[in-house]
């Protein structure tokens, strides 16, 4: 009797603890949203909690109006989406090659991928800037301050890490499925596309979400390689904004909230795959 | 329907590591041939070479009258059933069955017709719209076989298809596979490490070890007249009793062997080519060891170490002084009044004894 | 088809397929990673200031002078802040990595049971990671505000832990002002990974131990931790790599709003970026970056070889 009771108490305690941790963890986010919905003077004096349930949606309107936020938002959305598609595609192909085939140079590529993760952005910022400048001048194709300039960079930056994740997925698919497909008449590429890819859909979605998150988060190159608001992304926008509106915490929080929404939605939609995928890929190391 | 022949086939990964080392034999049209051997002996690799999933380093494989070496897998007219069934998890059973035909561009009506026929033979028509994960192990296996049947191949290839099933299911499927072969009449090559499957299913068995063929023949041939120690020990359960000894005397009709315990036993083999005192191995199957009275000539005294009752037979494990290993004796029923620690006498009838030379090769038995 | 009698030795056909699959990724990596590394190294050997920048790689060659200046502090504003930045970066990286792993592991253990709403809890716990790092910087910059930030409101007005409201963005507190948000954002992923690993441990190991009378805590120490060791080792390395170049949070928390990060919150990358751009010292910036990269490569190499045996874990 007492054993099951103490077990129930333990469970109850653990549950409480768990949800306490969840609540604590979410507090900053809640604070962010709350502050974005209060008026300026309340926020500036730290009295947002006293407002009860009056929400000031006007802040959001102000934010879009005062700063060219719509432009930043659109830019981020376009750049990150295209990056996601391209990077997922190239990472998937490369990961398949590394997972299934043993060939000369496969080890070099693997090591190369690891090395790219260790390079500080600062190191190759200037060469990249110069490269883009040269391409613009010699070949007439502007790379600086353009969508495609950033997209190309992002795809190149985020593909290597994604290769690791996808590779973990592919390794866990039994080879016999591709063998069967080949006997059934598929070419190797056909087996890849018709059999392996559909089965790896969860992994692909997880990888794509991951890339989208990384791209959305990128600040340094967006800042240094762009100069006009027709190309600049949200992080740049916020940074400019902070310089301009230092004390307007309410607007800042509104901008912060809006910046978080797209990735939040992307995550919530894909989280089933994401959780399974990232964990599985990582456990396999 | 086609024959399959192997001419001097080898496979190396590097110069030193050879997986298959010169295999040369032929399978007749319509035969059910089983490749059997321990793990890593190369039998699966050879099967995959027939399928076109592995390259052939040396030699030729012919399917029917055509040289198959450079023909891509899907065009060889073979169908394969994998150990793990390899069903496409994202497709229904119907789509799984029809996939190869779709790839080959066959018209829809033909595809549906073949699918239904195969489903009928294997009694899986009610499963056609399910996905593999909703099927039991046995059902998945049937779908895997169905996928092969649908293609109407010249040769069926089976890669240890029953290993993932539990014992009772395995026996049922074994019987069904035999019947399938009888009904379809197609050439079938079946790989397994289970000697019971080999004995029961095969028209002929090919025993492999370390990439080399040890012996080819019908199951009973291999059981009664194994060519070497490996084949002798591999087929038959319990394993054949093997005793190391020395050749005392041999002529074309019989050979006398000195056992380590000092006694002498006669074997009805022609060991005349061997020298006297050569090291030999005597082999006798557990069902051939006979109980005898103690005063019979050549009787060997033994102590019962353990008795196992299987209901229809019993196994007695015997310790013989001077002979290092325990021998196993199989007796029918459970009547013999044997108990642990009894001292009994046994004889090894000469016509049931096999003899192997120092290299492990069998001496010819006297007919 | 021409059939040769006897044995035919076949030459291994050149298989282009894997290479074709790799081409897009490899080309990009070469263009964006390799070339700049080489050029970056070359840059570190040149005198690149506002006058010579337009010459780029044709700027005057100064050999290891940049390295020397950075190390000894001669005419180098970069050097000026660098001791502090290095110290901060090392402490910050270690603190964040250790805390993220410990907290991640603890919560993973907490979550490794069945309770109603488990999946919801797990999803909610992951949210901090989703929040973009620059938002984290901005948000926590606001939260740490002495007078209007929620943290002081809770600590001082509600819990009465302090008599006087502390400054979080100045002085030595600013170190924790950057560590805590980073950990807040970082431990959920650790938790996720550890949770998956914990669930992969077969129950019977624990059952056998319980039958033997081993306490739950000891089970954790002697069964769970050793099995998790390979993963912890790898994740620790990833954490270090992720955090050593940390830039966004510091930049948004201090860079454009509250000013200079100060002694305790200035990290290596923010410092380099600031000084290189302010003083047009790209050669020196490149030198430091290159050295950092070498250090990290050595670290990864040493780490992997030291733990290679434990990572190919024996079941």
Would you state the pLDDT for residue A284?
Answer: 47
- Nearest by CB to A182, from B53, B79, B89: name it: B53
Residues B119 and B196 in one domain: yes
List Cβ neighbours of B5 (8 Å cut-off, separation of 6 or more): B25, B26, B27, B61, B62
Domain end position, chosen among B179, B208, B234: B234
Number of domains present in the structure of chain B: 2
Residues B281 and B136 in one domain: no
Residues B143 and B245 in one domain: no
* pLDDT digits 0-9 by tens, A78-100: 999 999 999 999 999 999 988 88
Average pLDDT in chain B: 89
Task: For residues B273-277, give the mean pLDDT.
Answer: 84
List Cβ neighbours of A40 (8 Å cut-off, separation of 6 or more): A59, A248, A249, A250, A251
Residues B179 and B297 in one domain: no
Residue B191 is encoded by which pair of tokens? 């790989």
> How far is residue B133 from each of residues A175, A199, B86, B136, measured CA to CA in Å?
18, 13, 12, 8
DSSP for residue A118: T
Cβ proximity of B354 and B267 under 8 Å: yes
Which of A106-115, B44-53, B312-321, B340-349 has the least mean pLDDT?
A: A106-115
Would you state the pLDDT for residue B365?
Answer: 85
CATH architecture of A59-283: Orthogonal Bundle (1.10)
Cβ of residue C293 closer than 8 Å to a chain A Cβ: yes
HEC letters along chain B = CCCEEEEEEEEECCCCCEEEEEEEEEECCCCEEEEECCCCCCHHHHHHHHHCCCCCCEEEEEECCEECCCCCHHHCCEEEECCCCCCCCCCCHHHHHHHHHHHCCCCHHHHHHHHHHHHHHHCCHHHCCCCHHHCCHHHHHHHHHHHHHHCCCCEEEEECCCCCCCHHHHHHHHHHHHHHHHHHCCEEEEEECCHHHHHHHCCEEEEEECCEEEEEECHHHHHHCCCEHHHHHHCCCCCCEEEEEEEEEECCCCEEEECCCCCEEEECEECCCCCCCCEEEEEECCCCCEEECCCCCCCEEEEEEEEEECCCEEEEEEECCCCCCCEEEEEECCCCCCCCCCEEEEECCHHHCEEECCCCEECEECC
**Mean pLDDT, each 10-residue run in order, chain A (285 residues):** 73 88 91 82 66 72 76 91 94 90 81 80 76 80 84 90 86 88 88 91 89 91 84 85 75 86 89 69 49
Cβ of residue A177 closer than 8 Å to a chain B Cβ: yes
- Nearest by CB to B67, from C1, C6, C7: name it: C1
C29 domain-assigned: no
Residues B264 and B227 in one domain: no
**CA atoms of B72 and B255, how far apart (whole Å):** 54
Beta bridge pairs of residue B329: B316
Beta bridge pairs of residue B223: none
* Cβ–Cβ gap C9/B57 under 8 Å: yes
Residue A222 is encoded by which pair of tokens? 């967006």
Residues B258 and B224 in one domain: no
CATH code where residue B173 lies: 3.40.50.300
* Residue extents of the structural domains in chain A: 59-283
Which of A67, A73, A77 is CA-nearest to residue A242? Answer: A67
b (16+ CB within 10 A) / e for C80-106: ebbebbbebbeebbbbbbebbbebbbe
C184 domain-assigned: yes
**Mean pLDDT, each 10-residue run in order, chain C (315 residues):** 36 70 84 79 74 69 76 68 85 95 93 86 91 91 83 80 80 88 93 88 87 86 89 90 88 68 83 77 78 86 77 43
Task: Give the DSSP per-residue string, A27-68.
Answer: HHHHHHHHHHTS-HHHHHTT-GGGGTT---THHHHHHHHHS-
Chain B residues with a Cβ under 8 Å from any Cβ in chain C: 8, 10, 55-60, 67, 69-70
| Binding partners of A (≥3 Cβ pairs within 8 A) | B, C
Would you state the pLDDT for residue A50?
Answer: 65
Cβ of residue C282 closer than 8 Å to a chain A Cβ: yes
Q: Which residues of C touch B75 (CB under 8 A)?
A: none
Rg of chain B over Cα atoms, rounded to whole angstroms, equals: 25
User: Quick check: B228 pLDDT over 60?
Assistant: yes
Cβ of residue A52 closer than 8 Å to a chain B Cβ: no
* pLDDT digits 0-9 by tens, B205-227: 999 998 889 999 999 999 999 99
**CA atoms of C25 and C170, how far apart (whole Å):** 44
Q: Is A284 helix (H, G, I), strand (E, B) or coil?
A: coil
C139 Cα distance to chain centroid: 20
DSSP H or E run through A153: helix A147-171
Residues B224 and B259 in one domain: no
Residues B361 and B287 in one domain: yes
**CA atoms of A13 and A25, how far apart (whole Å):** 18
Residue A263 is encoded by which pair of tokens? 């990735």
How far is the alpha carbon of C192 from chain B, nearest alpha carbon, in Å? 27
Task: For residues B225-239, give the mean pLDDT.
Answer: 92
C213 domain-assigned: yes
CATH code where residue C182 lies: 1.10.3720.10
Cβ proximity of A53 and A33 under 8 Å: no
Burial of C6 (0-12, 13-18, 19+ CB in 10 A): exposed
Which residue matches tokens 């998150």?
A: A213
Would you state the pLDDT for residue A21?
Answer: 92
Which of A131, A162, A196 is CA-nearest to residue A281? Answer: A162
The number of residues making up chain A comes to 285
DSSP H or E run through A22: helix A2-36
Show which of residues 92-151 on chain A sit within 8 Å of chain C, judged by CB atoms.
93-94, 96-98, 100-101, 103, 106, 109, 112-124, 126-128, 130-131
Residue A178: closest C-alpha in chain B:
B86
C89 domain-assigned: yes
Would you state the pLDDT for residue B239?
Answer: 92
Cβ of residue C99 closer than 8 Å to a chain A Cβ: no
pTM of the model: 0.82
Which of A180-184, B111-115, B330-334 has the least mean pLDDT?
A: B330-334
* Cβ–Cβ gap A163/C25 under 8 Å: yes
C193 domain-assigned: yes
Residue A279: closest C-alpha in chain C:
C193
Beta bridge pairs of residue B11: B20
Rg of chain A over Cα atoms, rounded to whole angstroms, equals: 24
Which of C240, C250, C243 is CA-nearest to residue C270? Answer: C250
Domain end position, chosen among B183, B201, B234: B234
Cβ of residue A195 closer than 8 Å to a chain B Cβ: yes
* Cβ–Cβ gap A219/C256 under 8 Å: no
Show which of residues 37-56 on chain A sit within 8 Å of chain C, judged by CB atoms.
43-46, 49
Burial of C182 (0-12, 13-18, 19+ CB in 10 A): buried
Number of domains present in the structure of chain C: 1
HEC letters along chain C = CCCCCCCCCCCCCCCCHHHHHHHHHHHHHHHHHHHHHHHHHHHHCECCCCCCHHHHHHCCECCCHHHHHHHHCCCCHHHHHHHHHHHHHHHHHHHHHHHHHHHHHHHHHHHCCCCCCHHHHHHHHHHHHHCCHHHHHHHHHHHCCCCCCHHHHHHHHHCCCCCCCCCCCCCCHHHHHHHHHHHHHHHHHHHHHHHHHHHCCCHHHHHHHHHCCCCHHHHHHHHHHHHHHHHHHHHHHHHHHHHHCCCHHHHHHHHHHHCCCCCCCCCHHHHHHHHHHHHCCHHHHHHHHHHHHHHHHHHHHHHHHHHHHHHCCCC
- Nearest by CB to C7, from B8, B55, B67: name it: B8
Would you state the pLDDT for residue C5?
Answer: 39
Residues B31 and B81 in one domain: yes
Domain end position, chosen among B234, B266, B290: B234
How confident is residue B283, by pLDDT bands cut at 50, 70 and 90? very high
Residues B12 and B136 in one domain: yes
The number of residues making up chain B comes to 367
Domain extent for C117: 82-279
User: Quick check: B202 pLDDT over 90?
Assistant: yes
Would you state the pLDDT for residue A55?
Answer: 73
Task: For residues B325-352, give the mean pLDDT.
Answer: 87
* Cβ–Cβ gap A183/B53 under 8 Å: yes
Give the CA angle between residues C158, C162, C167 to the nearest 5°: 105
Residues B186 and B207 in one domain: yes
What percentage of chain B reaches a pLDDT higher than 70? 99
**CA atoms of A132 and C36, how far apart (whole Å):** 12
Domain extent for B275: 241-365
Select from B21, B59, B61, B63 the residue whose CB has the most chain C CBs within 10 Å, as the one to mutate to test that interface.
B59
Which of B148, B81, B84, B82 is CA-nearest to residue B115? Answer: B148
Cβ proximity of B93 and B118 under 8 Å: no
Residue A260's Cβ-side half-sphere holds a number of Cα atoms within 13 Å equal to 25
Show which of residues 225-244 on chain A sit within 8 Å of chain C, judged by CB atoms.
234-235, 238-239, 242-243
List Cβ neighbours of C6 (8 Å cut-off, separation of 6 or more): B8
CATH code where residue B355 lies: 2.40.50.140
* Crossing angle between the packed helical segments C173-199 and C77-111, to the nearest 10 degrees: 40
**CA atoms of C101 and B155, how far apart (whole Å):** 56
C108 domain-assigned: yes
Cβ proximity of A1 and A19 under 8 Å: no
Cβ of residue A19 closer than 8 Å to a chain C Cβ: yes
């Amino acid at each position: 009797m007492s054993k099951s009771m103490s077990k129930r108490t333990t469970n109850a305690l653990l549950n409480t603890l768990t949800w306490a941790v969840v609540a604590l963890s979410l507090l900053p986010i809640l604070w962010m949203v709350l502050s974005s919905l209060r008026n300026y003077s309340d926020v500036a004096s730290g009295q947002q909690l006293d407002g009860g349930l009056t929400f000031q949606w006007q802040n959001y309107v102000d934010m879009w109006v005062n700063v060219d936020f719509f432009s930043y938002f659109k830019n981020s959305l376009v750049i990150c989406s295209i990056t996601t598609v391209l990077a997922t595609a190239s990472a998937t192909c490369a990961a398949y090659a590394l997972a299934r085939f043993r060939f000369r140079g496969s080890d070099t590529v693997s090591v190369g991928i690891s090395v790219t993760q260790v390079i500080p952005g600062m190191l190759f910022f200037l060469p990249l800037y110069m490269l883009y400048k040269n391409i613009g001048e010699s070949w007439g194709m502007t790379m600086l301050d353009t969508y495609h300039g950033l997209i190309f960079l992002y795809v190149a930056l985020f593909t290597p890490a994604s290769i690791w994740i996808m590779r973990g997925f592919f390794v866990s698919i039994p080879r016999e499925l591709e063998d069967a497909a080949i006997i059934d008449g598929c070419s190797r590429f056909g087996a890849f596309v018709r059999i392996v890819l559909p089965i790896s859909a969860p992994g692909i979605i997880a990888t794509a979400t991951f890339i989208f998150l990384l791209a959305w988060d990128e600040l340094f190159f967006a800042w240094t390689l762009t100069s006009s608001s027709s190309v600049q992304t949200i992080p740049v926008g916020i940074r400019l904004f902070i310089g301009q509106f230092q004390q307007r915490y309410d607007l800042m929080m509104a901008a912060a909230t809006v910046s978080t929404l797209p990735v939040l939605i992307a995550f919530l939609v894909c989280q089933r795959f994401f959780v399974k995928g990232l964990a599985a890929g990582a456990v396999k190391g | 329907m086609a024959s399959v022949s192997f001419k001097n086939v080898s496979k190396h990964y590097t110069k030193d590591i050879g997986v298959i080392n010169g295999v040369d034999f032929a399978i007749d049209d319509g035969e059910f041939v089983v490749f059997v051997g321990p793990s890593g002996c190369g039998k699966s690799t050879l099967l995959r070479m027939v399928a076109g999933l592995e390259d052939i380093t040396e030699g030729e494989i012919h399917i029917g009258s055509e040289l198959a070496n450079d023909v891509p897998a899907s065009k060889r007219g073979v169908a394969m059933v994998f150990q793990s069934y390899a069903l496409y998890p994202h497709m229904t059973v119907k789509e799984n069955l029809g996939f190869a035909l779709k790839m080959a561009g066959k018209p829809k009506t033909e595809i549906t017709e073949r699918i239904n026929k195969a489903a009928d033979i294997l009694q899986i028509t009610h499963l056609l719209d399910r996905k593999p994960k909703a099927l039991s192990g046995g059902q998945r296996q049937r779908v895997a076989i169905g996928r092969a049947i649908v293609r109407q191949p010249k040769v069926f290839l089976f890669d240890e298809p029953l290993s993932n099933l539990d014992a009772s299911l395995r026996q049922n499927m074994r019987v069904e596979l035999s019947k399938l072969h009888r009904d379809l009449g197609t050439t079938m090559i079946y790989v397994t490490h289970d000697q019971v499957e080999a004995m029961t299913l095969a028209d002929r068995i090919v025993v492999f070890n370390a990439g080399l063929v040890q012996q080819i023949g019908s199951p009973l041939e291999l059981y009664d007249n194994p060519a070497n120690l490996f084949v002798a020990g591999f087929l038959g359960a319990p394993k054949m009793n093997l005793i190391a000894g020395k050749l005392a005397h041999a002529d074309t009709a019989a050979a006398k062997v000195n056992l380590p315990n000092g006694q002498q036993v006669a074997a009805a083999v022609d060991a005349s080519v061997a020298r006297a005192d050569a090291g030999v191995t005597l082999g006798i199957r557990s069902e051939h060891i006979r109980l005898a009275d103690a005063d019979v000539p050549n009787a060997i005294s033994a102590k019962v170490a353990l008795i196992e009752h299987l209901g229809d037979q019993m196994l007695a494990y015997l310790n013989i002084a001077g002979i290092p290993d325990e021998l196993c004796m199989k007796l029918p029923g459970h009547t013999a009044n044997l108990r642990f620690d009894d001292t009994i006498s046994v004889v090894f009838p000469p016509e049931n004894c096999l003899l192997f030379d120092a290299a492990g090769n069998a001496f010819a038995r006297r007919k | 088809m021409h059939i040769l009698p006897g044995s035919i030795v076949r030459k291994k056909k050149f298989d282009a397929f894997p290479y074709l699959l790799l081409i897009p990724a490899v080309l990009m990596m070469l263009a964006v990673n390799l070339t700049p590394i080489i050029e970056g190294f070359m840059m570190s050997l040149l005198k690149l200031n506002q006058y010579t920048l337009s010459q780029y790689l044709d700027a005057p060659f100064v050999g290891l002078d940049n390295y020397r200046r950075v190390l000894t502090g001669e005419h180098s504003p970069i050097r000026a802040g660098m001791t502090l930045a290095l110290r901060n970066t090392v402490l910050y990286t270690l603190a964040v990595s250790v805390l993220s792993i410990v907290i991640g592991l603890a919560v993973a253990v907490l979550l490794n049971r069945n309770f109603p709403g488990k999946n919801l809890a797990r999803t909610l716990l992951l949210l901090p990671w989703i929040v973009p790092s620059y938002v984290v910087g901005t948000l926590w910059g606001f939260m740490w505000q002495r007078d209007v930030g929620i943290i002081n409101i809770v600590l001082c007005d509600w819990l009465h832990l302090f008599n006087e409201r502390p400054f979080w963005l100045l002085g030595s507190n600013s170190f924790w002002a950057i560590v805590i948000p980073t950990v807040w954002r970082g431990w959920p992923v650790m938790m996720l990974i550890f949770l998956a690993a914990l669930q992969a441990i077969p129950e019977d190991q624990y059952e056998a131990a319980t039958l033997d009378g081993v306490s739950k805590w000891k089970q954790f120490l002697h069964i769970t931790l050793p099995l998790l060791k390979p993963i912890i080792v790898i994740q620790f390395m990833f954490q270090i790599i992720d955090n050593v170049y940390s830039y966004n949070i510091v930049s948004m928390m201090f860079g454009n709003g509250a000013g200079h990060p100060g002694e305790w919150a200035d990290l290596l990358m923010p410092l380099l970026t600031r000084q290189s751009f302010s003083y047009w010292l790209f050669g020196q910036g490149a030198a430091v970056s290159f050295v950092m990269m070498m250090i990290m490569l050595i670290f990864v190499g040493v780490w992997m070889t030291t733990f290679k045996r434990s990572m190919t874990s024996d079941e």
